[in-house]
Chain A
Amino acid sequence: MTAVLDLSSTPSTPFHRLVRVELRKSYDTRAGFWLLAVIALLVLATEVVVLAVTTVQNDAIAFGDFIGAAAFMTSFLLPVLGIMVLTSEWSQRTAMVTFALEPRRPRVIAAKAVVGVVLTLVTVVVSIAIGLVCTVLYDLIEGHADWTFGWSGFFGFLITQTFAMLGGFALAALLLNTPAAIVVFFVYKWVLPGLFAIGAALMGWFETIQPWIDFQSAQNPLYDMSLSGDDWAHLVVSGFIWLVLPLAVGIWRVLRAEVK
């Protein structure tokens, strides 16, 4: 006689609980904590420098510029966080525990992706708050301030930051290896645009296909939300190549991988 486990009274783990747990895991280690702390410190330091330079030289600067400076700083460390949210499970071998407690792996991956987006939102809010303080300080020092920063700018900022985070996350899913994902991400983010530009300048045929494969330049119109129909098409196609494809392959890999 085989005893049957009575599962009727145990609800499955709610998704929001997974998200909360994954969120906690992103900052409860020294590595995670310092990564977040460094992002915050770096943004602060940058804003102080920008504020000092503009007030000393009496340069004009707008609210949106302060936020832009913050966005620039966060855009290269935030994706590293996105990468490590996923790869640390493999390098630290915690995936064994994680997938034992929630064997439906796509839910865990999705929870991690949500955490990435949540952290992005937090960073955006913090960046805007810092920008606000800086603009107020600028106003106090210079006697005037330029509060130019519209909703379009806000949404553009939000979307590009989210894309940056998801780009890191997708590469992490594809490679499941921290150093490799970080190297590839930086190459993709900082080296490839230059190469694309050179290629486009040299070859006519490449210039025609470049907008369709260059996800970085496809995001440019997002900053002021001035997307035309063509721009949308470029964004979707290049985004498919750089976000959806690696994510799909990566998730397929995670689902089938033997967890060690």
Chain B
Amino acid sequence: MSTVTVPTMDISGTAPTPFLRLVRVEARKAYDTRAGFWLLVSTALLCAIVMVIQMAIGVSQDDVFLSYNSFLTSTNFSIAILLPVIGIMLLTSEWSQRTAMVSFSLEPRRPRVIVAKLVVGLVLAVIAVVIALLLATICNALYSVLSDDPTVWNASVAHTAGFLLLQVVGMLTGFAFAALLLNTPAAIVIYMVYSFVLPGLFELGAQLMDWFDKIRPWIDFNYAQGPLVDATMTGKDWAYFATSGFIWLVVPLVIGFSRVLRAEVK
């Protein structure tokens, strides 16, 4: 067999798959299934429903005053429920549906595929923010028409940037957990626990123990994101944000990446 000459293949005329094309394909994969489509629609709907309820309460209750920012603040909350799930499923569905086999056959340089997915996640976060800003504008305009309260358009660059950063971070957190676990239910459970259960536990620990109260800002990423909501980030807050973000975003992302790159794809 060793004497057989093996013909070579001329690959000089083939350009590598452009990164932009990978991003476009991954974007398409985010909405071309019923599950993906409805997840996106549900996120927008949930956002809209929360704002409409908020507006209805504001209009009907004399002691509730709403501003443009009140709408955005509540949206922080409603988007945080589903946007990270989108981030999770961008990645984990490749494993649960076994499409990773095809994706990595067509682009064996796996980091490019993962980064393309990450970019799609970020684009979706930006789209979510744009939709939220639009909805908040509509709701506040309606509120000013329907309610006797004075209209407050307190949108600032700092608020909007903070809002955008929050959504991007939320999306990335979901993505990081997904990369770490490569399993939809596990990643969703961990995200939900991290996002809704852990803050309570941290709060409890901080009240009970002084030393924990001191280190908490450095390890509680949710807590560190608090000042972003009302755009009151100080230098120290940024330090908290960077440190806790390193623990909750960077570490799982790095471990997850190395795992995906080396994993046997089945």
| Touch A–B, Cβ below 8 Å | yes
The number of chain B residues touching the other chain, given as a range, is: 20 to 34
Q: Confirm or deny: A190 has a beta carbon within 8 angstroms of a beta carbon on chain B.
A: yes
Chain A residues within an 8 Å CB radius of B184: 178-179
Chain A residues within an 8 Å CB radius of B40: none
Q: In the complex, A54 Cα to B33 Cα: how many Å? A: 51
B188 close to A57 (CB less than 8 A): no
Q: Confirm or deny: B196 has a beta carbon within 8 angstroms of a beta carbon on chain A.
A: yes
| Known contacts A76-B197, A178-B184, A179-B184; is-contact A191 B81 (Cβ 8 Å) | yes
Residues 59-97 of B, flagged 1 when their CB comes within 8 A of A and 0 if not, give 011001000000000000000011001001100000010
A178 close to B185 (CB less than 8 A): yes
Which B158-198 residues have a C-beta within 8 angstroms of A?
A: 183-186, 188-189, 192-193, 196-197
The distance from the CB of A185 to the nearest CB of chain B, in whole angstroms, is: 8
A84 close to B185 (CB less than 8 A): yes
Q: Confirm or deny: A187 has a beta carbon within 8 angstroms of a beta carbon on chain B.
A: yes
Instruction: With A59-B208, A77-B189, A179-B188 given, name 14 new contacts (CB 8 A).
Output: A31-B183, A53-B209, A76-B192, A76-B193, A80-B189, A84-B185, A91-B96, A178-B184, A179-B89, A179-B185, A183-B82, A183-B192, A190-B196, A199-B57
Return 18 A-B CB contacts under 8 Å, by A number: A31-B183, A53-B205, A53-B208, A57-B208, A59-B208, A76-B197, A178-B184, A179-B88, A179-B184, A179-B185, A182-B185, A182-B189, A183-B81, A183-B188, A190-B197, A191-B196, A202-B61, A203-B61
Q: Confirm or deny: A186 has a beta carbon within 8 angstroms of a beta carbon on chain B.
A: yes
Q: In the complex, A179 Cα to B184 Cα: how many Å? A: 7
* Consensus secondary structure, chain B interface: helix
A202 close to B189 (CB less than 8 A): no
Q: In the complex, A191 Cα to B64 Cα: how many Å? A: 21
Interface centre among A76, A77, A186, A187 (most CB of B within 10 A): A186
Q: In the complex, A59 Cα to B205 Cα: how many Å? A: 13
B89 close to A202 (CB less than 8 A): no
Chain A residues within an 8 Å CB radius of B188: 179, 182-183
The distance from the CB of B86 to the nearest CB of chain A, in whole angstroms, is: 11
Number of residues of chain A lying within 8 A (CB) of chain B: 21
Q: Which residues of B contact A (CB under 8 A)?
A: 35, 57, 60-61, 64, 81-82, 85, 88-89, 96, 183-186, 188-189, 192-193, 196-197, 205, 208-209
* Consensus secondary structure, chain A interface: helix
B185 close to A183 (CB less than 8 A): no
Q: In the complex, A190 Cα to B61 Cα: how many Å? A: 26
Closest 5 A-B residue pairs measured CB to CB?
Answer: A186-B192, A190-B196, A182-B188, A178-B185, A179-B184
The distance from the CB of B56 to the nearest CB of chain A, in whole angstroms, is: 10
A179 close to B85 (CB less than 8 A): yes
Chain B residues within an 8 Å CB radius of A178: 184-185
Q: In the complex, A190 Cα to B199 Cα: how many Å? A: 11
The distance from the CB of A69 to the nearest CB of chain B, in whole angstroms, is: 10
B57 close to A202 (CB less than 8 A): yes
The distance from the CB of A46 to the nearest CB of chain B, in whole angstroms, is: 9
Q: In the complex, A93 Cα to B196 Cα: how many Å? A: 31
Chain B residues within an 8 Å CB radius of A177: 35
| Known contacts A179-B85, A203-B57; is-contact A190 B192 (Cβ 8 Å) | yes
Which A42-70 residues have a C-beta within 8 angstroms of B?
A: 53, 57, 59
